[in-house]
Structure 1
Amino acid sequence: MFNTARFRLTTLLCGLLLTSACSAASSSSSAAAPYTDGTEYVTLPAPHQRYSNSGKVEVVEVFSYACIHCAEFSPYADELRKSLPPGVEFKLVPAPFNDSWVPFARAYYAAKKLGVADKTHDLFFDKKFKEQYPINSMSEIADFYASQGVNREQFVSIANSPETDAQIKKDLALIQTWGVDGTPTIVVDGKYRSANIKDFPQLVDLTKWLVQQELNAKGK
């Protein structure tokens, strides 16, 4: 489903991962799920590149505040994060696929630096997509965070800092290495990437199944 040769425009990027809208029906138990390498997920070529060096099994959601499918997946991601076993950590990586998505990546890292990312993550999606609040430009994004008690000038300074520039550049290189060109995408331990997923419950179950494969491989 993905074309890894080049990144696509925002509207296409949002739709690449899912072949249909989120289904209310839940998938079968992840332990028994017949997931196939090359279909529901892809094993990435070695050497596997992780996002961090924590030593824990790593679940990374590549997302964007510009993507409505990420907004729809967010409640599922919250439940996934809570259900992960000890020794597994969940991380978010904002995708700077094009110029219009870069401000959203800047916003995430500024919010993270200021310690408000967890508090504002789901709210950002709700304001932008459910309430149709205008949050597109850097100025509008800064207004949103200011409405949540964040110092606006400090937020803008961090969002546009050389440190944030470097992080976004590093993220983009890693995302390209993983072959991610759509959101939301899950990458487990830098080794497995979600691919042809029919709905959000299946993406959650697939992630749990891949995590268990890694835990088994590590003898945990």
Structure 2
Amino acid sequence: MRYLKKLLGAFALATAASMAGATPEHPQNNVDYLTLPQAQDTDSGDKVEVIEFFAYYCPHCNVLEPRLAAWVKKQGDNIVFKRVHVPRDENVLPQQRLFYTLEALGLLEQYHAKVFAAMHEQRLRLNRDEQVFDWAQQNGIDREKFVNAYRSFGVQARVRRAGYMMQNYRVNYWPVVVVGGKYLTSPSQVGENMRGEPTEAEQQEAALKVMDYLVQKSKPAAPAAAK
């Protein structure tokens, strides 16, 4: 019995020490981030691919957006940044198709934040096709051009691919960020192991630091100098 108590005590101390070392400045695998059992192919060349899995209706995605946008800008040429709007049900499908239509038309960066504002500030549900078309027109987008793209095979293919990517990257909640086709992290993942009761803003800032680390970790190795 005394041996068992010693063993349990040693395990508790080891666990505590491990958790104490897990900080955004010194991230640990399976604590601050997860590693996919099978890395996914990337097409980002000598830059690091970073993918955000998100949804327009998600309040946490909405709050993260400005911080994430600033982080992407700060990373500059270090990364290739992509977004994947996750599927859920028929109410979310119009929002998902809205995202991929904006992307197909080259309008995403101009209107991405405006969609979040429409849903979370103006309280538009954007859960019907006609409501999405009205929103696009009211925001200065040619309605016919938008509708044609929205209903195109290309946008339908992007919607289907989002579902496949969720499976391949093992994404089951959002927002989640994947770095280098291999490492997954999120504010909630990092926040689970922060001391005290961190605010959502603190969790987000900590997650961005973990993402900094993962970008560095994922950079291609420099070619060896010729002898």
| 2:222 is aligned with 1:219 | yes
* Gap runs ≥5 in structure 1: 1-30
Quote how far apart the aligned CAs of 1:85 are.
4.5
Quote the residue 2:36 is aligned against. 44
Bigger relative contact order, structure 1 or 2, given CA contacts below 8 A and separation 6+?
A: 1
| 2:62 is aligned with 1:62 | no
**Selected match of 1:78 from 69, 82, 90:** 69
Kindly tell me the number of residue pairs found equivalent between the two proteins.
187
Quote the residue 1:133 is aligned against. 124
**Selected match of 1:197 from 190, 199, 203:** 190
| 2:187 is aligned with 1:187 | no
SS of the equivalent of 1:200 reads helix
TM-score under structure 1 length normalisation: 0.78
Quote how far apart the aligned CAs of 1:32 are.
6.5
Name the Cα RMSD after superposition.
1.9
Aligned-partner residue type, residue 54 of structure 1: S
Tell me how far apart the structure 2 counterparts of residues 66 and 139 of structure 1 sit (CA, whole Å): 17
Tell me how far apart the structure 1 counterparts of residues 90 and 32 of structure 2 sit (CA, whole Å): 30
Tell me how far apart the structure 2 counterparts of residues 32 and 187 of structure 1 sit (CA, whole Å): 16
* Gap runs ≥5 in structure 2: 1-22, 192-202
Q: Please identify which structure carries the higher helix content.
A: 2
Quote how far apart the aligned CAs of 1:58 are.
0.5
Change (3 A) 1:158 1:85: closer
TM-score under structure 2 length normalisation: 0.76
| Runs ≥4 residues deviating over 3 A | none
Which protein has the larger Cα radius of gyration, Structure 1 or Structure 2?
Answer: 2
Change (3 A) 1:205 1:32: closer
| 2:84 is aligned with 1:93 | yes
